């Protein structure tokens, strides 16, 4: 390799590094905030909280798309018995979002089984973040 080729290769590496540095990734707390807001929407903030959130890995799929592997625990604020009791008392209550109480009861029961207050379920997910003009957003798909 001659000197000119070496400097061209070095310049390409430097420019690539600068371009990556100009596109800051969301930090772990921003990722946790975006994820928690999404996970706790539709009334689920009344059922559980996100604990021990941890970003495991991440990579750029493109300039505006960042894929992140995460781990966290869901800690229940209510038992399944409490939830089913609430649904029987108020089957159209606002705490169960737009889906309706029967669907929510079935979904909660099938996804989490029989749970008590304080129980934790470890979770792992891959989430997609989209960079917009207003910052990073979690892609709900």
Task: Report the phi/psi class of residue 118: left, alpha or beta, with left for phi > 0 and alpha for psi in -120 to 50.
Answer: left
Q: Which CATH number fits domain 26-139: 3.10.450, 1.10.357, 3.10.350, 1.10.3470?
A: 3.10.450
Taking residues 6-32, what's their average pLDDT?
65
Q: For 48-61, what is each residue's pLDDT tens digit?
A: 999 999 999 999 99
Q: Grade residue 87 by pLDDT with cuts at 50, 70 and 90.
A: confident
Q: What is the pLDDT of residue 44?
A: 82
pTM over 0.75: no
Give the sign of the dihedral formed by CA 51, CA 52, CA 53, CA 56. negative
Residue with the bigger pLDDT between 56 and 2: it is 56
Taking residues 65-77, what's their average pLDDT?
97
Q: How far apart are the C-alpha atoms of 89 and 48, rounded to whole Å?
A: 20
Q: How far apart are the C-alpha atoms of 42 and 7, rounded to whole Å?
A: 56
Ranges of each domain in the chain: 26-139
Neighbours of 39 (CB within 10 A): 20
- Looking up tokens 């929407």 gives 41
């Amino acid at each position: 390799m001659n000197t000119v080729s070496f400097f061209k290769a070095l310049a390409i590496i430097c420019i690539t590094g600068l371009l990556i540095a100009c596109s800051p990734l969301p930090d772990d707390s921003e990722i946790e905030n975006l994820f928690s807001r999404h996970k706790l929407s539709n009334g689920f903030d009344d059922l559980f909280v996100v604990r021990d959130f941890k970003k495991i890995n991440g990579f750029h799929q493109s300039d505006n798309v960042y894929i992140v592997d995460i781990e966290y625990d869901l800690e229940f604020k209510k038992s399944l018995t409490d939830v089913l009791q609430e649904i029987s008392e108020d089957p159209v209550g606002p705490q169960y979002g737009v889906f309706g109480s029967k669907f929510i009861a079935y979904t909660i029961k099938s996804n989490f089984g029989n749970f008590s207050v304080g129980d934790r379920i470890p979770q792992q997910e891959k989430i997609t973040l989209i960079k917009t003009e207003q910052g990073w957003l979690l892609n709900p798909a």
